[in-house]
């Protein structure tokens, strides 16, 4: 298979949210021809200022793209984009490549591979690990499931948006690995929240506690940046809590199907659910504020 370089292929992109818009921008910046579609037309139109083209609908996008990427919120959104008479598979030409980047269930990923194969479309599940700043900088980590030949052909695209990328196995293995990764991301934040509250309740200065904690070996790189923001009570969403809630639900569903006990993950999901129920859009790190409230600690003024 030919390598998917900027001079060889036209790209289509569906889903211009926090991550998708940044990935699309990097593809444009690196010389790819890009057409886009989003239900929110204003998000799609903003791409035109940087050389992108806005498709009228998904069918039009699918008919003109050699490679179609999507970054959507959940399984239902992915199904609505790809299936049915107005979906990608109804319009895509045989030989089209799909790089599906949403965090969805492994079962949905495998179904997408199967449906694509029926119409001659090759699919990779390309799950994203990384924050919005990492997307801006093109240093994401990509977790991929599918055909090895296609994985190698897609490397030019991966190199545009990611620092590293890994093939985990067959269809659905990329999204499975994403659930493994986000188990640690969500549990790690819950563990930090509990540890910080313990320190506060026993008399440690909150700001100093967070500062020193960030310099220890026990804090994962993905959590380090959260501590400085937490110190000023800044919970503006980099990774929205609603998406972490969705991911924890996917993780627990997958665990139930495999009869794997995950008591710590269940507890993290419970705290996440409580905070989500009483808040507006905010970062998943707000579980720390929830634990402080439960412990009776005074809330800090919100960051401006």
Query: CATH 1.10.1040.10 occupies which residues in the chain?
Result: 177-294
Q: Which fold has domain 177-294?
A: 1.10.1040
Reading the block at residue 57, the tokens are 């609908």
Residue that the structure tokens 């495998």 belong to: 110
Residues in the chain: 304
Instruction: Please tell me the distance from the alpha carbon of residue 271 to that of residue 291, in angstroms, as a whole number.
Output: 8
Query: CATH 3.40.50.720 occupies which residues in the chain?
Result: 10-170
Considering only CA atoms, which of 93, 41, 20, 40 is closest in space to residue 62? 93
**CB-based contacts of 44, cutoff 8 Å, min separation 6:** 16, 36, 37, 38, 54
Reading the block at residue 53, the tokens are 């083209």
- Per-residue pLDDT tens, the chain, 304 aa: give them: 889 999 999 999 999 999 999 999 999 999 999 999 999 988 888 888 888 999 999 999 999 999 999 999 999 999 999 999 999 999 999 999 999 999 999 999 999 999 999 999 999 999 999 988 899 999 999 999 999 999 999 999 999 999 999 999 999 999 999 999 999 999 999 999 999 999 999 999 999 999 999 999 999 999 999 999 999 999 998 889 999 999 999 999 999 999 999 999 999 999 999 999 887 789 999 999 999 999 999 655 544 4
CATH class of 10-170: alpha beta
**CB-based contacts of 101, cutoff 8 Å, min separation 6:** 19, 20, 23, 69, 70, 71, 126, 127, 128
Give, in order, the Cα–Cα distances in Å from 173 to each of 2, 142, 161.
24, 12, 20
């Amino acid at each position: 298979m030919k390598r998917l370089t900027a001079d060889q292929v036209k790209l289509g992109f569906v889903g211009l949210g926090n991550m998708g818009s940044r990935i699309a921008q990097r593809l444009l910046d690196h010389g790819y021809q890009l057409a886009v579609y989003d239900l929110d037309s204003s998000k799609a139109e903003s791409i035109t200022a940087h050389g992108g083209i806005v498709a009228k609908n998904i069918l039009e996008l699918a008919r003109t793209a050699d490679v179609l990427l999507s970054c959507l919120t959940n399984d239902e959104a992915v199904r609505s984009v790809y299936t049915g008479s107005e979906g990608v598979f109804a319009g895509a030409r045989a030989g089209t490549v799909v790089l599906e980047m949403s965090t969805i269930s492994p079962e949905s990923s495998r179904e997408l591979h199967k449906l694509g194969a029926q119409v001659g479309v090759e699919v990779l599940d390309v799950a994203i690990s990384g924050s919005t700043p990492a997307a801006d900088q093109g240093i994401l980590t990509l977790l991929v499931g599918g055909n090895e030949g296609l994985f190698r052909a897609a490397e030019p695209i991966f190199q545009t948006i990611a620092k590293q990328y890994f093939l985990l196995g067959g269809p659905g293995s990329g999204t499975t690995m994403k659930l493994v990764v986000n188990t640690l991301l969500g549990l790690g934040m819950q563990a930090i929240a509990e540890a910080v509250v313990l320190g506060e309740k026993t008399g440690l200065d909150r700001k100093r506690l967070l500062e020193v904690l960030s310099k220890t070996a026990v804090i994962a790189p993905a959590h380090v940046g959260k501590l400085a923001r937490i110190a000023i009570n800044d919970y503006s969403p980099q990774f929205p809590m609603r998406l972490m809630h969705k991911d924890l639900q996917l993780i627990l569903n997958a665990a139930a199907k495999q009869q794997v006990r995950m008591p710590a993950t269940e507890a993290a999901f419970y705290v996440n659910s409580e905070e989500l129920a009483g808040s507006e859009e905010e970062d998943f790190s707000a579980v720390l504020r929830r634990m402080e409230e439960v412990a009776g600690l005074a809330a800090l003024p919100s960051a401006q």
